Chain A
Amino acid sequence: MKRELIKYAVFSACVLSAPFVFSGSYLMNVLVFVGIHTMLAVALNLLLGYAGQISLGHAAFFGLGAYGSGILTATYSWNPWLAMVVVALTVGCLAYAIGFPILKLKGHYLAMATLGLGIIIFIVFNEWVEVTSGPSGFSGIPNLQLGALVFDNDFKNYYLVWTFALGCVLLSVNLANSRIGRAFRAIHDAETAARVMGVNARLLKVQVFSLSALICAIAGSLYAHVMTFIAPPSFGFNISVELLTMVVIGGLGSIYGSFLGALLLTLLPEFLRFMHDYDIVFYGGLLMLMTIFMPGGLVRGIPDLFRKLSGVKKGISHA
């Protein structure tokens, strides 16, 4: 318990002091996205890494959050904070309703169903032109505002987004270490045995699906207000896959791993810019190497690597 608290304190201290170490508006901008991606990856990890239920359509919930907030504030001039809460709750309820039929499915079938869900919602963003402005994108979304403070530059947005992301990490860590988190993992490991122990697997799966969608929706709202412009490609199938990659690379069933995955997959494309179109080759190669040599993800793979390296050194000194 205490160890978790220290881990979290160190993590938030690093996050909160980062803007004073790394300067430059461009990097700040990237780090804002790391924050949003962390929320999304943590949300998906609760579902996939803990409860063991796959989703290939999570970008849809992210998109629903973004479009919901965008439309309510820009078209209907709602208060952005109110819109964020209403949208998050609506998306949560929607996921709850969809969850009951969809989470009866297992494995590949669940993957297909969530994939379909993601595609349907993506098509709605693209085709419902009167409301979403379609493929040309939706603009004119206001920045968030707190009293006289308007979140209109990267520095302010960094603290805005990371306040949410840190909150999300804290609540998720708490949840993961509780009886509910244990029940999720029990369902993941042996569903029948979990049910025999009195774990209501069906209900818990729907609850975590709904919670996960709700977090994605909040991340979507933040994204809309930070960018002020949104377009369908940001919420398509490849984004769902990218989220999945973040979770797997970071480490399934580790909240901080999701942060590492989000960090790596957000920064990497920026560093690979010089490779132009060949960056995708590097990216794919890295994924393959990671899954072969670090199947536990970064969060378990890096300490293992250090252990191995120090073991090798010891071996040499013995010889």
Chain B
Amino acid sequence: MLELKGITQIFGGVTALKDVSFCINQGEITGVIGPNGAGKTTLFNIVTGIYSQTSGQVLFEGKDISRMPAEQLAKRGMVRTFQNIELFGKMTVLENVMVGLHSRSKSGLFACSFKTPWAVKEERRIRDEAHEWLRFVGIDELAEVEAGNLPFGRGRMLEIARAMACKPRMILMDEPAAGLNSQETLGLAELIKKIRDMGITVVLVEHDMELVMDICDRIVVLNLGQKLAEGTPREIQDNPEVIAAYLGDDE
């Protein structure tokens, strides 16, 4: 579904990623792991159109999306969440999710100003659907709260609801468990599985090994900007190179 071919990213003189290639299969949960500074977030930013890579290609459903701006990817069915949740802080929880429906609605400047019947109808659909996604992640009772006032864990749920409102075929989550307590992490794991069972491909960058080993179908390990290994959780756990990268060599 998503294919990375020889991605290299150089910032100034620093090589953040070096010739990284792998595939992500449809309908699976894939974890991208690696020690700090391995280039995971950089890779995410390249895939989702926020950075543009020095060289290499990103193919999404067979199409080259390498130089495509972020806003077009949402329309093509790819959406992401952020490591330090990026909510629209001064808008209500409901409005945040309503923005998620932006790419699936059409009324323009003119129709909205003059409140054409078509725009009014669309607005109602957006509102109803946004409530549905809030119920999906279980925070509908917070709909009218200003998003900036949410506790971190709820903010994370809101970010997922907002991303799901785009009706993506693939969702990329950058450290979704960061800052969550163990109870919230359990809830998150259930939610991610639920999203996969809806047929949506999930890609995670994550530090919480328990979560990764528990829910991922496949894992890709990065280290120092290069791909170290890929395979099932069991294979990765037994891979000596991965163990060395995480725990250091015995020499």
Residues in chain A within 8 A of chain B (CB atoms): 171-172, 174-175, 178-183, 185-186, 188-190, 192-201, 207, 211, 253
Contact = CB atoms under 8 A, between A and B. Distances in A.
A179 B74 contact: no
A181 B102 contact: no
**Most chain B beta-carbon neighbours within 10 Å: one of A171, A178, A194, A200:** A178
Interface in B96-136: 98-105, 107-109, 112-115, 119, 122-123, 126
A190 B89 contact: yes
Contact of A178 (B71, B101, B107, B162): B107
Chain A facing B: main interface SS:
helix
Contact of A174 (B82, B98, B113): B113
A172 B86 CA distance: 27
Contact of A201 (B71, B79, B101): B71
A275 B32 CA distance: 69
B86 A190 contact: yes
A211 B101 CA distance: 24
22 contacts: A171-B114, A174-B112, A175-B113, A178-B107, A178-B112, A180-B109, A182-B91, A185-B91, A189-B88, A189-B89, A189-B90, A190-B88, A192-B82, A193-B87, A194-B99, A196-B48, A196-B71, A196-B74, A196-B80, A197-B79, A197-B99, A197-B100
Given A185-B88, A190-B87, A198-B74, 7 more contacts: A174-B113, A182-B91, A189-B91, A196-B50, A196-B80, A197-B102, A197-B103
A183 B91 contact: no
B191 to A, nearest CB: 19
Interface string B70-86: 11111100011010001
Interface residues of B, number: 41
- Determine which residue in B100, B104, B108, B112 has the highest number of CB atoms from chain A within 10 A of its CB, and name it: B112
A198 B103 CA distance: 5
B86 A193 contact: yes
A118 to B, nearest CB: 24
Interface of B: 48, 50, 69-75, 79-80, 82, 86-91, 95, 98-105, 107-109, 112-115, 119, 122-123, 126, 162-163, 166
Contacts of B122: 179
B205 to A, nearest CB: 15
Nearest to A178: B112
B115 A174 contact: yes
Contacts of A186: 88, 91, 99, 102
Q: Which of A174, A193, A195, A253 has the most CB of B within 10 A?
A: A193
Contacts of A192: 50, 70, 82, 86
B126 A179 contact: yes
Contact of A179 (B48, B91, B107): B107
A178 B122 CA distance: 10
A104 to B, nearest CB: 13
B104 to A, nearest CB: 8
A242 B102 CA distance: 35
Contact of A171 (B99, B105, B113, B162): B113
Nearest to B124: A1
Contacts of B107: 178-180
Given A174-B115, A185-B90, A196 B109 contact: no
Contact of B71 (A175, A179, A200): A200
A185 to B, nearest CB: 6
A198 B102 contact: yes
A197 B81 CA distance: 10
A253 to B, nearest CB: 8
A109 B109 CA distance: 27
A181 B99 contact: no
Contact of A175 (B102, B112, B163): B112
Contacts of B166: 197-198
A201 B73 CA distance: 14
Nearest to A181: B112
A253 B162 CA distance: 23
A198 B86 CA distance: 15
Contacts of B69: 195
A174 B108 CA distance: 12
Contacts of A183: 99, 102
A195 B103 CA distance: 10
A17 B163 CA distance: 48
Looking at B73, B109, B162, the one whose CB has the most chain A CB atoms below 10 A away is: B109
A193 B174 CA distance: 13
Contacts of A171: 113-114
A199 B166 CA distance: 11
A211 B113 CA distance: 11
A21 B89 CA distance: 42
B109 A195 contact: no
B74 A197 contact: yes
Contacts of B95: 182, 185
Contact of B108 (A180, A185, A188, A194): A180
